[in-house]
Structure 1
């Protein structure tokens, strides 16, 4: 009779027990309870054969050599234990350990040390734990030599690692729909040989064709990515823009147009808010057009039909304009003289400060002004009681705009014959009240910047040719009530409210995390959203929870946006160059445009639903600013970039959390874009004739008009231009002056100079950049101009270089010409013409003379052939012979360079003033012969 042994089998021990766990919680539990003992870790001594086995508890007193087993090893195996003993030396170890001495040192591979029952045998598979030891900790891994360097982390890799999947067999020659379809059928023939259906209605064939279509689309996308990866091959506008930015080239999206609009009023005055005004160009093909105000219904219809909308620009903080009837057409005072004009280059004028008189009742006799100013305002003689009235009608002030306009034909007196190019806008810098002491007329003297000087002669009064011979006054007038406007409109937008206008139980927290709690704080979100006249959207995404670090810790919840970008509905988006921040900027600078400095015109706000979905404009902390790029944006900067695609659609690109702030899923955004851009805004004169307001009724009696054509509108830069200029653009914008030519190049950028030269002079300890400049229209260098040039050059100078700005060295020349005059010409007349041609000032016809300072440049040589050719061009000259061409200092009569060229140094300028008061400034002498 046999008996069954009910004793449980002993648990096997090893250094690689399953399952493998990352968090070893049992180790601490065994240590604290103290019921079982185990190996904590094994320490290898410096000699390589002495081991110190640290245990959870004390060292068993009866442990012997037979209880310590070592397995493993690659090159060195079968390690034997020579002795074991308890080691209790606090100077060597923090706790008690079991000292084990081996017969030799192991290799670099892993070993396993186990404390076993002595009766376990020699087979590691049958080893049992030492009595009282936890089987999980009866063994410990052991390495005699580290398999990594001392400066590396030798921690073991994670045990639960998935093996890398085997790569599928891919035919990379399949790139289109047909080849993918055939590839799938070939694969199906191998995996499912029994399926041989090829009819189109079959479900299997349909699935194969769907997959072939998707594969074809992905293949095209793969090819497109490779194409867009390089500037030379990229075809999409956004790709080209990003490539160009990498080489510091800023691709521009065009710029809107600007124009000056006058507001005419029949009587009285009205004050208008600039932020409510709209100026319109009627839609094409709409006739007849009645200039003046239009109502809200007509405004909506005009927008729908393609009317161009202009909005006033705010200058120097002004938010209103007062339209004065007397400033609709202002007479330019001539002090009672006739045949007057404002000459070219004028920077001041005197205006008659009185309202225009009423129209006459009968035809005026000869000698009186005509009956119209060309703009619809009658202009008879001014009555004395109106002129001498003790009241002023004009309310002009510094900073106001004024437009000078020729309203009557100079030859006929007919308004239709007025020259439309004789219209010029200026910005007043000074306004002084004056009174004519002769008749007491109230006057207003106005001044403007030299940059806005008249570019033409403005005729004020003329006399018609015979047989009429009438005097015509008020040929030109000044227009006040001028607005600076630019192209672009803020059309009402449509808000996307679908996610907000759902029942509470249908709120989508999966795509818009936190939406339900946000809607609870804003119960009327749907009504608010539908009342907004802007574009608005919710940022989609999902909530992600960070991993649990320890028990009871608060989990971090992040809400990354699934797609934080947005495409605006309207196009083209307006791009406008910011106005100068200085006050009183002249017209010439206001109309000088740089499309690369233009910024997108839209207001973007985004953040929490309850803070952004409000009736007014959200707080500044929720407003996002447009930037050309995000390379300098920090992780908390609310910046975005506008990128325009090939169809003109503007895409908003936000940051990623490192370069710019990243929107969070569930955030609410609203945008108010401005629409209208490019050269289409460069409308002709007298095109902007409608006035409207954004809200309410339009003011009655005000008629807008743009006397001059709009300008500055620029179309977006083409891809061909970017690909042509971007690769070399960085070379065109130097940032440092290294050589002498660099200093000269930077100095020549000053508009008041017509040339510059430089040489690096050794001072004994360092170099000094001596920059010699040639002022435009002058022979002397003003101290203020020299200081300005030095100040502008200072940021570019090389470290270790001194900088000096010097005047050019003028070299007086001695020139003698022998001129033979034709027999039929008077010698005196020919000599007078020669002196006029070789003058250092302006010739009688207004052209600079041969020796004018602007015609003599730094380092430019004087050619004998040029002198002879200039003299030979005078009527009556038969022959010219050059006798002398030399420097006045040391030169004598008869000196002529052998090659016919008098060379000058790079810092010298020829000087021939031929002034009897200054003979030391060079001279030219004509020895006349022949003639009569």
Structure 2
């Protein structure tokens, strides 16, 4: 056979292509018996002895030259030094070819081949041993294995398919339409034969379902990221919780308060405040008739949107006594005329006799105006000698009662319609003293009230009508008793969910553990629930049993709730500020409102069904209290948080067992709430005209009206306000005085302090904070005010600082003004007006003078321009010059500061009393010229 006809030499080696996972050729070699090959190789414990197993018998005559080893990384060129046949059944299942190497290989793979002895040293030229299959003439081996012994270190060579490229995703798709188009585009690539686009198609239905789900998840993803920060949060509850973390309390507004005057035709009547309601007729109500409503009228008015006000108990009072004589009370003028109750008054004298009913004047035949009604009583008759019976006291007033002063007649015309509705003022009496007028024996009451309730205007009592009538008009203003403090808010019937309690046992109690046993102990639970006029609900949940760790142990049964939150029916929930704790608090304190101190008007009771579903109110130990947050609540504290969402719905959030007690599954809750809040309750005067009671029968002729408009109702704080104020709120409430300005700021918080300044002085052992005060409404610092401010500064005092409270340094001034009067004005009149205008007290119109203590400020400079402007404002002044402006302790001289300002230090206060008995308290002189 020529060389051209010889069969080609097939390559041998490890890792021949192709790489196959199923070695089917091995089975054919074993069954055929024509070709031999290497099955596997075992490495001996010494690392140099190899046992080569073949498919067939070991060839005779195989030598060292027929065994070749190639490969390796660090150790290469391994040589075979001995080859022998090994037949030891106890060591191997079959005979193997024992091969001994000169040294052990490393961890890298090697290749052992049985080759023809004539093959050269290059592994690429090796040929298989005669009668050996070229694909199994070599075998791969490792001398050392890196994997643990409990793992399979065999390597597989599957045919790995090339991964498909990931689909192109449009990450800008964020809504339903874009997601729907995204899915349709993808389906056009994956299923190009599907071209159906009709809505009833199942494919379109699935695409739209997935688009809706993706849209919802996308919104949820964005919402979570948005609500995670205060600056980006949009939900009211999220903003509230963020603000609370920085110690800022978001308020939900507060309800309005009003003062209502009650009246009865005659005698007295006692009303129970519980169950009493006062209403504002609904909008568009025709022919409103003031008075008492029946139960049906009351329910109809509430359904039509009438605003409901309820009484507030002052000092724990549960009833109010209404006296007919208290409705209209005359103010005593001691027989004088042209009288008024001056602005700033804190006491008055009332006539303790009934007011005579006014008669309707007849119109004269000549067409002239009728005579003015004169509301006088038996007091005037006694003064003229008229015979009357012995007077009896009829007023029922005592300290703590509310009183309203009201102008009832127009001072210029005497008509009821011309009375100024702004001249109505409420006070709370601090003292009531019965007295008698010694001139005519009139029974009187001297009443006093707190300076905070001082009269803000001059209240006219009697006037004289203009000519030609010239008659005296008395009782222009009256006092109203029987005043009741009310606030906005209604207790509507609740919406009690009684479904679970009225379901037959075993059909709906699986979600409420323990309900079946509770219903068995209370067969009439359904009827009791239907009779409740409150909101009620059951807490759903499951029952869990802990595993027993020892025989005979009692398993721990837990009832975790699946949902503890609850949404109250009706909006908006009433938020009301508690009344001041001081007894006989003045009206100014009763009507002052702080929405951040308002509390939700809500009573919540919760516990076992048998303890809560009872007639009336459950025991106080089952009551849950509302808190601003649960950060300070313990695991057993029955606390909850009221949260109002963007729609005004009220959510109740309970504790989790760590911060606040967690309600248990199967617990029964009931809540009684008030509805009505915000500025909607700020109704105008004479708007509250209806009364109703759910408990008592109100007397005939009972009437109500609010002479003064309701006020104090505020809307809930907006999200924009919270985001604006919350980040810096901690700076607004300092907890310690560090620098002098801190002491001055804390001292100025007292309502009786107009201004304060502080300087630090070294007293030899430490620094002393000298706080200078400018009291409000007076010049001299009262000792009790100094002690109160000193005690108020103690909690803020820095360690190492002493505090001293002193009066401001008053600097008396010497001022001389040259005033030129117009020729047609009297000099004396102009000078009198100037002295009043530059006085240190109140002017005739009630405004403070130029040097009144309340108009002067600590450290404020006195300017020439201000003096000239004030003098020029007097009618008749033509020209003003400031001749002297200097301190009293300076040498007398006609001197004016060059810059026109008399500067004072921050602890000094200007003083010009112009008192001839105390010239050292400052003076102002007027050099008058011109005039007549």
| Fold match by TM threshold 0.5 | yes
Does structure 1 residue 470 correspond to structure 2 residue 471?
yes
| Change beyond 3 A, Cα 1:627–1:879 | same
The Cα of 1:827 is off from its aligned counterpart by 5.2
| Change beyond 3 A, Cα 1:927–1:192 | closer
Partner of 2:776: 776
The Cα of 1:718 is off from its aligned counterpart by 1.7
Following superposition of structure 1 onto structure 2, how do residues 548-563 of structure 1 map, counting pairs within 5 Å?
548-563=548-563
Q: CA RMSD in A?
A: 3.2
Partner of 2:640: 640
Partner of 2:898: 898
1:368, 1:380 within 8 Å by CA — same for their partners in 2? no
1:817, 1:925 within 8 Å by CA — same for their partners in 2? yes
Q: Distance in 1 between matches of 2:288 and 2:269?
A: 24
Partner of 1:532: 532
Partner of 1:412: 413
Partner of 1:613: 613
| Change beyond 3 A, Cα 1:280–1:877 | closer
Partner of 1:487: 488
Partner of 1:440: 441
Q: Distance in 2 between matches of 1:802 and 1:834?
A: 46
The Cα of 1:507 is off from its aligned counterpart by 3.9
Q: Distance in 2 between matches of 1:913 and 1:320?
A: 52
Q: Could you list the per-position Cα deviations for residues 225-250 of structure 1 after superposition, in whole angstroms to 9, with x for gaps in the alignment?
A: 11222222222211121222222221
The Cα of 1:779 is off from its aligned counterpart by 2.2
Partner of 2:346: 347
Partner of 2:21: none
Following superposition of structure 1 onto structure 2, how do residues 836-855 of structure 1 map, counting pairs within 5 Å?
836-855=836-855
SS at match of 2:672: strand
The Cα of 1:585 is off from its aligned counterpart by 0.7
Q: Which has the larger radius of gyration?
A: 2
1:358, 1:380 within 8 Å by CA — same for their partners in 2? no
Q: Distance in 2 between matches of 1:572 and 1:645?
A: 11
Q: Distance in 2 between matches of 1:598 and 1:617?
A: 24
Partner of 2:239: 240
TM norm structure 1: 0.77
TM norm structure 2: 0.77
| Change beyond 3 A, Cα 1:184–1:344 | same
Q: Could you list the per-position Cα deviations for residues 848-876 of structure 1 after superposition, in whole angstroms to 9, with x for gaps in the alignment?
A: 33333233321122223333444455555
| Change beyond 3 A, Cα 1:562–1:340 | same
| Change beyond 3 A, Cα 1:207–1:423 | same
| Change beyond 3 A, Cα 1:169–1:603 | farther
The Cα of 1:671 is off from its aligned counterpart by 0.6
Partner of 1:57: none
| Change beyond 3 A, Cα 1:812–1:518 | same
| Change beyond 3 A, Cα 1:541–1:182 | farther
Give the stretch that moved more between structures: 722-731 or 834-843: 834-843
Q: Could you list the per-position Cα deviations for residues 455-512 of structure 1 after superposition, in whole angstroms to 9, with x for gaps in the alignment?
A: 1111122221122222222211111111111111101112100001011232422x11
Does structure 1 residue 221 correspond to structure 2 residue 220?
yes
| Change beyond 3 A, Cα 1:902–1:501 | same
1:407, 1:476 within 8 Å by CA — same for their partners in 2? yes
Partner of 1:312: 311
Does structure 1 residue 499 correspond to structure 2 residue 500?
yes
Partner of 1:63: none
The Cα of 1:432 is off from its aligned counterpart by 1.6
SS at match of 2:785: helix
SS at match of 2:219: helix
Q: Distance in 1 between matches of 2:168 and 2:568?
A: 41
| Change beyond 3 A, Cα 1:900–1:439 | closer
Q: Runs of 5+ in structure 2 lacking a partner?
A: 1-45, 48-89, 93-165
| Change beyond 3 A, Cα 1:708–1:928 | closer
2:353, 2:391 within 8 Å by CA — same for their partners in 1? no
Q: Distance in 2 between matches of 1:619 and 1:763?
A: 61
Q: Distance in 1 between matches of 2:578 and 2:675?
A: 16
Q: Distance in 2 between matches of 1:820 and 1:703?
A: 62
Q: Distance in 2 between matches of 1:790 and 1:409?
A: 50
2:379, 2:440 within 8 Å by CA — same for their partners in 1? no
The Cα of 1:697 is off from its aligned counterpart by 3.7
Give the stretch that moved more between structures: 852-861 or 472-481: 852-861
SS at match of 1:396: coil
SS at match of 1:520: helix
Does structure 1 residue 688 correspond to structure 2 residue 652?
no
Partner of 2:584: 584
| Change beyond 3 A, Cα 1:330–1:815 | closer
| Change beyond 3 A, Cα 1:636–1:122 | farther
Following superposition of structure 1 onto structure 2, how do residues 643-722 of structure 1 map, counting pairs within 5 Å?
643-695=643-695, 697-722=697-722
The Cα of 1:261 is off from its aligned counterpart by 0.9
1:354, 1:387 within 8 Å by CA — same for their partners in 2? no
Partner of 1:135: none
Partner of 1:329: 328
Give the stretch that moved more between structures: 302-311 or 833-842: 833-842
The Cα of 1:844 is off from its aligned counterpart by 4.9
| Change beyond 3 A, Cα 1:818–1:169 | same
SS at match of 1:330: coil
1:388, 1:442 within 8 Å by CA — same for their partners in 2? no
Q: Distance in 1 between matches of 2:906 and 2:326?
A: 55
1:603, 1:624 within 8 Å by CA — same for their partners in 2? yes
SS at match of 2:395: coil
Q: Distance in 1 between matches of 2:255 and 2:202?
A: 56
Give the stretch that moved more between structures: 475-484 or 895-904: 895-904
| Change beyond 3 A, Cα 1:184–1:746 | same
Q: Distance in 2 between matches of 1:665 and 1:231?
A: 34
2:270, 2:320 within 8 Å by CA — same for their partners in 1? yes
Q: Distance in 2 between matches of 1:604 and 1:667?
A: 13
Following superposition of structure 1 onto structure 2, how do residues 861-880 of structure 1 map, counting pairs within 5 Å?
861-874=861-874, 879-880=879-880
Q: Distance in 2 between matches of 1:211 and 1:746?
A: 62
The Cα of 1:548 is off from its aligned counterpart by 4.3
1:294, 1:698 within 8 Å by CA — same for their partners in 2? no
2:362, 2:370 within 8 Å by CA — same for their partners in 1? no
Q: Distance in 1 between matches of 2:392 and 2:915?
A: 53
Q: Could you list the per-position Cα deviations for residues 547-602 of structure 1 after superposition, in whole angstroms to 9, with x for gaps in the alignment?
A: 44445433322222211111111111111001112210111100101111111111
| Change beyond 3 A, Cα 1:820–1:307 | closer
Q: Distance in 2 between matches of 1:874 and 1:286?
A: 53
Give the stretch that moved more between structures: 176-185 or 495-504: 176-185
Following superposition of structure 1 onto structure 2, how do residues 381-420 of structure 1 map, counting pairs within 5 Å?
388-420=389-421
Q: Could you list the per-position Cα deviations for residues 728-781 of structure 1 after superposition, in whole angstroms to 9, with x for gaps in the alignment?
A: 222222222111111111112222222111101111221110000111232211
The Cα of 1:179 is off from its aligned counterpart by 5.1
SS at match of 1:617: coil
Partner of 1:128: none
SS at match of 1:746: helix
Q: Could you list the per-position Cα deviations for residues 267-288 of structure 1 after superposition, in whole angstroms to 9, with x for gaps in the alignment?
A: 1211111002111111111111
1:369, 1:474 within 8 Å by CA — same for their partners in 2? no
The Cα of 1:211 is off from its aligned counterpart by 3.2
Q: Distance in 1 between matches of 2:675 and 2:730?
A: 32
SS at match of 1:761: strand
Q: Distance in 1 between matches of 2:194 and 2:832?
A: 109
The Cα of 1:200 is off from its aligned counterpart by 4.2
Partner of 1:95: none
Q: Distance in 2 between matches of 1:479 and 1:389?
A: 25
Does structure 1 residue 813 correspond to structure 2 residue 816?
no
Q: Distance in 2 between matches of 1:700 and 1:226?
A: 63
1:369, 1:472 within 8 Å by CA — same for their partners in 2? no
